[in-house]
Structure 1
Amino acid sequence: MTASHRTALSTTAQEPFWLDRPEHPEPLPRQIGDTRTDLAVVGGGYTGLWTALIAKQRDPARDVLVIEQGTCGHAASGRNGGFCSPSLTHGLANGLQRWPDEIDTLQRLGAENLDAFERDLENHGIDCDFARTGKVSVAATPWQADALRASVPVANRHGEKVEYLEHDALRGYIDSPLWTAGVWVPDYALLDPARLVWGLRRACLEAGVRIVERTEVTAIDTKPADLVRLTTPYGIVGARRVALATNVFPPLLRRLGLSMVPVYDYALTTEPLTDDQLASIGWTGEHGVTDAGNQFHYVRKTADNRILWGGYDAIYHYGSRVDDALTQRPETFDVLAEQFADTFPTLGDVAFSHAWGGVIDSTTRFCMFAGTAAAGRVGYALGFTGLGVGATRFGAEVVLDLLAGASTERTNLAMIRRKPVPFPPEPARWVGIQATRWSMAREDASGGRNVWLRTLDRLGLGFDS
């Protein structure tokens, strides 16, 4: 860590850029006393709020209650990079590997979901800077460039009109001495993640959804025949149906305990940059950028011309520990600041305004899963693995279909019918994840996929953020 990097981080606010806003809504009251509802949604992030809003769209007379342990958007929904992919499967390659027979259906459903996402934003007046800006995926090594080049015909066969970029073509989108090639993905959106969750919260309230915040659900009892009972410190909620949208937090259903692991991801934002500074790196458009490494970065501009620079480290803590203290990790911020200066030397003296982390619900198949329990009275949609901004809306539709007992194109997908392979218990979980992280770093450095990673490939297992 050089003196210039320390200076760049010396006045950084240790909180998410997106949430550091005067328009942050005031917390809603806690749940006080016992209550009953038709549908209780546990979790007030994207998945929970989409579930509540779509439930009211389907049946305006239905009583819906969202129960949030903190405030809506305080966790992953307010801390992510705001990349909104049309993919439901963490990208085409992952979906094609796992569900080749239905990949074209998954691609179509993903595109339809993103269209519906945009329509809902317009219909509910949610101003979250949503724009289909496109994205460039860039390569820093010859083997990454080869992989990107090979991905283009595959993507085009499955409906993605992408373009391979080299030399001046790439520099027309982004210019770094580290990046040698790229792929332009035009159908990709960016948005402001906090304004999205606050807009969904407002839309839910306007639709008649009840929302209580700072109310933790500590237990679920599915034995009563009439109502599922949710215990909170302030009273009992009885619900005809329950949707669990709890991300990495305790899923209440014990059987889900090994389905996900919490992975901490970190990001920085710069101070606002001038047009000349952005032009010095060739970034005159509004598109996002990701790199093609296993330990990848995601990069974008904000509405006030900051650069958000995040990713690389994906940190798992023994025992699946989740703690607000883990959202700050100075050693990762140091690495990110140094990597930023190496990637954009003309911006090496730029200061960073905010540094933060968030926790991701990672699964062995890198994308969401859904299902039911208690004879169909409890549903869940979880495990979005860092690409859930768009897919959470699809997850909400799935869980509502499942709770209704409906057979739909969504619920009949193998992706929904088959659950991810669980992670092993500790200490095997920690050992396996560390071995995978080490192996992925080695692959980024050398281009060779070792025996451990090839074995995971054959078993259909993985670890990602």
Structure 2
Amino acid sequence: MSVPYADALAEAKPLSHWLDSRDAPAPRPALTRNTTCDLAVVGGGFSGLWTALLAKERDPSLDVVLVEARTAGWAASGRNGGFVSASLTHGLGNGADRWPGELADLERMGLENLAEIEETLHRYGIDCGFRRDGKLWAATAPHQVDEVRAMCDLAAAHGRSIDFLTRDEIRAEVDSPTYLAGAFDAEGYALTDPARMVWGLREACLRLGVRMYENTPVRRMREGNQGVVLDTAYGRVGARQVALATNVFPALLRRLRLYTVPVYDYVLTTEPLTGGQLASVGWKGRQGMSDMGNQFHYYRLTDDNRILWGGYDAIYHYGNGLRDELDQRPETFAKLADHFFTTFPQLAGVRFGHAWGGAIDTCTRFTAFYGQAMSGRVAYALGYTGLGVAASRFGANVMLDLLSGRETPRTRLEMVRTKPLPFPPEPVRYVGVELTRRSLDRADHNGGRRDVWLRTLDRFGLGFDS
């Protein structure tokens, strides 16, 4: 039996649109001898690069070494949708539920962090298509119209402006027959080319004197005579302090391994749209977009007028499965293509140029958590749950604050001082995740009504998300 829209996927390259670029820098040499430093950063994605950059900006004399298992940005940092959200709490609703007493501070810090990212990109001349075009939410089911109104009301109650849009108003912005209402956040979102942003931050780190070693996986972290030792394949790094920025990958601190699970997310990009095709959709404001489902789609225009279309499926593989072959999932690509043409039937005949996937680290509170180990010489931040493009810079500052030993407004936050509940061990973990996914799917197709399982998770502040 033929698969609907398979022809549209026939020539899609199985790699990230962002990473498929001539701008990709040549890898830095691997570490092949022993070395020492003041600060070692493990991981070359957004979290690690921001940590290294901010450390050098705080103290230019600091000797900083960054080690990356492959190349900077090859994983989630180079495969995401390029949405840069000011939220530090995975959305206003999640923040209001968990930290109502400090939500005003968290919102202010998040907006300041977004503005500081923009300033840093300008200061270092990083050309990554960073645009403050905001974000649209689309209600595509009747019950979601009330959810959109509630989101706008919650924002207004906390001093934020998210504008409610009627059916005609949102279709005047982006035209889809599926839209029933919408909302627009003008200040809390930007868009970027995440790979070019990674490569720009990487170059800025090198210019500031960060010593960077790629294709250098760390096999073990242990205490040394005067600090922390990182064992790699060909050499060791002896560091006075270490910042762990490994996110979805198995933590070098074993006690953290129950706090996150890897969730695979999948993305398509179309071929570049013609002028006529783009006109049929509208989208003159070039805002980022997502719908309001539990299983949601996120989508946007790229600089060359492709539509990036991702999300919906969030796939967990038994035993924290994390393998290169899981980056491709044809059944999800077919589902995404079907949903794409349902949303934009006027684009029938458009073909997809890229199809890829990658793993996100999610935790039970949906937003990053922080801590220290080895007598305060190691700091970590992980669990960003898909909103790490901007929040990773905040997390980098938290790690550096913790390593400094000084209390700051960031380290005083309850969000920073507390941790989520861990996931249970297997096989309970897999069963729980699958039960949650199926319940979320039923809710999306049942007027948003949450079953007993989801209501129980809500009561204990638990969940599973991408």
Q: Given the two structures, how large is their TM-score scaled by the length of structure 1?
A: 0.99
8 Å contact from structure 1 (residues 165, 183) kept in 2: yes
2:14 aligned partner: 14
Aligned residue identity for 1:365: R
2:166 aligned partner: 166
* Cα deviation, residue 425, structure 1: 0.3
2:377 aligned partner: 377
1:221 aligned partner: 222
How far, CA to CA, are the matches of 2:268 and 2:151 in structure 1?
30
Residues 1:381 and 1:127: Cα distance change in structure 2 (over 3 Å)? same
2:204 aligned partner: 203
Aligned residue identity for 1:40: A
- Structure 1 portions without partners, runs of 5+: none
How far, CA to CA, are the matches of 2:383 and 2:56 in structure 1?
24
1:147 aligned partner: 147
1:130 aligned partner: 130
Which secondary structure state, in structure 1, belongs to the residue aligned with residue 388 of structure 2? Answer: coil
How far, CA to CA, are the matches of 2:376 and 2:122 in structure 1?
33
How far, CA to CA, are the matches of 1:321 and 1:3 in structure 2?
27
Which secondary structure state, in structure 2, belongs to the residue aligned with residue 280 of structure 1? Answer: helix
Instruction: Determine if the alignment matches structure 1 residue 189 to structure 2 residue 190.
Output: yes
* Cα deviation, residue 167, structure 1: 2.1
Aligned residue identity for 2:46: Y
2:258 aligned partner: 258
* Cα deviation, residue 274, structure 1: 1.6
Aligned residue identity for 1:450: D
8 Å contact from structure 2 (residues 42, 242) kept in 1: yes
1:392 aligned partner: 392
Instruction: Determine if the alignment matches structure 1 residue 419 to structure 2 residue 419.
Output: yes
Deviates more, 1:19-28 or 1:48-57: 19-28
* Cα deviation, residue 3, structure 1: 6.2
Aligned residue identity for 2:185: V
Aligned residue identity for 1:250: P
* Cα deviation, residue 7, structure 1: 1.0
How far, CA to CA, are the matches of 2:213 and 2:21 in structure 1?
22
2:108 aligned partner: 108
Matches within 5 A, 1:24-35: 24-35=24-35
Q: After superposition, what is the alpha-carbon deviation per residue over 1:231-282, rounded to whole angstroms, capped at 9, x for unaligned?
A: 0011111000000000111210011010100000000000000222122122
How far, CA to CA, are the matches of 2:134 and 2:382 in structure 1?
26
Residues 1:217 and 1:328: Cα distance change in structure 2 (over 3 Å)? same
8 Å contact from structure 1 (residues 4, 349) kept in 2: no
Residues 1:427 and 1:4: Cα distance change in structure 2 (over 3 Å)? closer
2:440 aligned partner: 440
Instruction: Determine if the alignment matches structure 1 residue 313 to structure 2 residue 313.
Output: yes
* Cα deviation, residue 217, structure 1: 0.2
Q: Given the two structures, how large is their TM-score scaled by the length of structure 2?
A: 0.98
* Cα deviation, residue 159, structure 1: 2.4
Which secondary structure state, in structure 1, belongs to the residue aligned with residue 168 of structure 2? Answer: helix
Matches within 5 A, 1:339-418: 339-418=339-418
How far, CA to CA, are the matches of 1:375 and 1:404 in structure 2?
13
2:334 aligned partner: 334
Report how many aligned residue pairs link the two structures. Answer: 464
Moved over 3 A (4+): 1-4
Deviates more, 1:285-294 or 1:151-160: 151-160
How far, CA to CA, are the matches of 2:462 and 2:380 in structure 1?
22
Which secondary structure state, in structure 2, belongs to the residue aligned with residue 44 of structure 1? Answer: coil
How far, CA to CA, are the matches of 1:407 and 1:62 in structure 2?
20
8 Å contact from structure 1 (residues 170, 181) kept in 2: yes
Aligned residue identity for 1:294: N
Which secondary structure state, in structure 2, belongs to the residue aligned with residue 290 of structure 1? Answer: strand
* Cα deviation, residue 2, structure 1: 5.7
Which secondary structure state, in structure 1, belongs to the residue aligned with residue 5 of structure 2? Answer: helix
Which secondary structure state, in structure 2, belongs to the residue aligned with residue 354 of structure 1? Answer: strand
Q: After superposition, what is the alpha-carbon deviation per residue over 1:189-212, rounded to whole angstroms, capped at 9, x for unaligned?
A: 000000000000000000000100
Matches within 5 A, 1:283-298: 283-298=283-298
How far, CA to CA, are the matches of 1:168 and 1:436 in structure 2?
34
2:450 aligned partner: 449
How far, CA to CA, are the matches of 1:131 and 1:426 in structure 2?
42
Instruction: Determine if the alignment matches structure 1 residue 299 to structure 2 residue 302.
Output: no
Instruction: Determine if the alignment matches structure 1 residue 73 to structure 2 residue 77.
Output: no
8 Å contact from structure 2 (residues 136, 287) kept in 1: yes
| RMSD over equivalenced CA pairs, Å | 0.9
Q: Using the aligned pairs only, state the percent identity.
A: 58
2:463 aligned partner: 462
Aligned residue identity for 1:204: C
